[in-house]
Amino acid sequence: MNDLRSIRKAKGLTMEQLANLSGVSSKTISLYEHTPPRRPSRKVVDKLSQTLEISPDKLLGAIGAGGKAPAGAGQEGLEEAIELSDAHVVRILGLVEKEVSELQHLMIESASLAGEHPALERSIEYLAGEIDLLTEIRQRFA
């Protein structure tokens, strides 16, 4: 069981069944089985790992993420202390806030076109993952 497809089949699930149980589209599951993204969506990994009853780290290894876990996944206790001045923190938070706002705007625009262009669904998931990452960074600095 060293890839997502093998894990799914070992659990006796079809792609459609896994999609229904996890809330992740079968198209996304197919993508993760055949050509996984370099930076998997944290939400997708969490949903699939819960449904398949395996740890997010094992799932990331199975989809070939090369050990690059989504932000926060399995990285407890690995935080490094970085000292920043208050001015740096304010500047970083401003940049993060601006980027989150721009990504949210782009995501909304893309969502309205996704029905006509199914390939945009993958981009929307990527944008959602980026927003999650930046939101986590913002929370850590706030």
Length of the chain: 142
CA nearest neighbour of 29 among 11, 53, 47, 12: 47
For position 86, what pLDDT does the model report?
Answer: 83
pLDDT at 132 over 70: yes
Closest C-alpha among 66, 69, 15 to residue 46:
69
Query: What is the count of structural domains for the chain?
Result: 2
The parent domain of residue 137 ranges over 86-141
One domain, residues 53 and 91: no
Q: Within 10 A of 73 (CB to CB), how many other CB atoms are there?
A: 19
Q: In this structure, are 56 and 101 located in the same domain?
A: no
Q: 53 with 8, same domain?
A: yes
In the predicted model, is pLDDT for residue 1 greater than 80?
no
Report yes or no on 102 lying in a domain: yes
Instruction: Kindly state whether residue 53 falls inside one of the protein's structural domains.
Output: yes
Does residue 36 lie within any of the structural domains?
yes
Residues 6+ apart with CB under 8 A from 124: 107, 110, 111, 114
Are residues 103 and 55 part of one domain?
no
Answer yes or no: is 79 within a domain. no
Residue 115's CB is within 10 A of a number of other CB atoms, namely 9
pTM to 2 decimals? Answer: 0.48
Looking up residue 51, the CATH number of its domain turns out to be 1.10.260.40
Is 31 part of any domain? yes
Q: Is the pLDDT of residue 85 over 80?
A: yes
